[in-house]
């Protein structure tokens, strides 16, 4: 069974540009989470989808970030326009809807560098 995949693995963009990150969860996983780690800080929660619905988006830093999960399969996270402080590693994780409460399976992450 394929794990959680993320694309691209690394993106370097200039301040003001737009970047879209993609996460493909494990097939059949209805829960999908986005997290990020910015330099020197702990990993922080961004948002949680259940199928195509946003269950919790309280961690989204501002309205330059837009997450979607059309059809309840893969998810995209768009940053527009990107700022220097958005640099970091963006992770997604997924779990089945009726998973044990602590189960989450992580993707390898996308390293975003904004110059």
Partner 1 sequence: KNEVEQSPQNLTAQEGEFITINCSYSVGISALHWLQQHPGGGIVSLFMLSSGKKKHGRLIATINIQEKHSSLHITASHPRDSAVYICAAPGETSGSRLTFGEGTQLTVNP
Q: Which residues bind partner 1 (CB under 8 A)?
A: 9-10, 31, 33, 35, 37, 41-45, 48, 50, 55-56, 59, 89, 91, 93, 95, 97-109, 111
Rounded Cα distance, 86 and 32, in Å: 21
Burial of 25 (0-12, 13-18, 19+ CB in 10 A): buried
Q: Could you tell me the smallest distance in angstroms from the CB atom of residue 104 to partner 1?
A: 6
DSSP β-bridge partners for residue 10: 111
Q: Could you tell me the smallest distance in angstroms from the CB atom of residue 44 to partner 1?
A: 7
**Which residue's CB is nearer to partner 1, number 73 or number 104?**
104
Q: Could you tell me the smallest distance in angstroms from the CB atom of residue 66 to partner 1?
A: 19
**Which residue's CB is nearer to partner 1, number 43 or number 73?**
43
Rounded Cα distance, 92 and 84, in Å: 21
């Amino acid at each position: 069974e394929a794990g959680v995949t993320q694309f691209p693995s690394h993106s370097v963009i200039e301040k003001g540009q737009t970047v879209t990150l993609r996460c493909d969860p494990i097939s059949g996983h209805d829960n999908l989470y986005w997290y990020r780690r910015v330099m020197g800080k702990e990993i922080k929660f961004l948002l949680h989808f259940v199928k195509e619905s946003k269950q919790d988006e309280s961690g989204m830093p501002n309205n330059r970030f837009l997450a979607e999960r059309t059809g309840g399969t893969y998810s995209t996270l768009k940053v527009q326009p990107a700022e220097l402080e958005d640099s970091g590693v963006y992770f997604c994780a997924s779990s089945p809807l009726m998973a044990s409460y602590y189960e989450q399976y992580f993707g390898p992450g996308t390293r975003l560098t904004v110059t």
